[in-house]
Chains A and B, each alone.
Chain A
């Protein structure tokens, strides 16, 4: 899922500047599940803002709204009628949601209330670990289901490196060596031979290095569009 963390209140107050009427907008999908920007977090932040503005003697009218998904027009369109009179929307959605709001409702500025951090797996309650970097050229089929792009600190295609010690990455002692995990899986499935070929440099043009990525599926497009 897309994972984020809420920005500190001081940074949010600075972003809001002198705004007098603020709509805190949450998203009911990824950021709800990672407890960063769902209905509950919207309520907490709105409450904090109301109290902070009161303590600062700065009148701020704060309202709350959460939609099921802030990254799709169909779900954010109902917000249109609520936006009248608001100086600012403070979105607790991921960066996609914030931009969707700005594109759909250009007349009002939507500011980010969270930092979108990663595509992560909740490995246990309260712990999210990065698993994917959306590189656009998935290697998991050749690395036994463990991604060296997201999980190897050096993004090696042929590993492990000399810094792997007893299965632990030299960069961070809390991080398992991704290549050790890959080799362990290969041994488990008796397919070590598949790791012996040297992998050529990866085609990064399908990742961010190739510029803005866009998928067009003509079979799904409506004629009027």
Chain B
């Protein structure tokens, strides 16, 4: 996991976003097409439905060191 905020280093949280293919992922796609920027530390995972996202997958992401999760759908 990240060390958290430090005075000399800005906190750059790693965020995993589980995005529903039919809405949130399409929105992220559109944002890309419109050249809108979002932080590079946000990693988008395309899921068939946000209801598909399981607590186990969220825990696995935390285990692997992400600082936050977004489930969008």
Contacts and interface: CB of A to CB of B under 8 A. Distances in A.
Contacts of A51: 59, 62-63
A48 B59 CA distance: 8
B63 A40 contact: no
Interface residues of B, number: 8
A45 to B, nearest CB: 10
Is chain B's interface secondary structure helix, strand, loop, or mixed overall?
helix
Contacts of B60: 47
A44 B56 contact: yes
Contacts of A44: 55-56, 59
Interface residues of A, number: 8
A28 interface: no
B54 interface: yes
B54 A40 contact: yes
A50 B55 CA distance: 15
Interface of A: 40, 43-44, 47-48, 50-51, 54
Interface of B: 1, 54-56, 59-60, 62-63
Which 3 A-B residue pairs are closest in the complex by CB-CB distance?
Answer: A47-B59, A43-B56, A47-B63
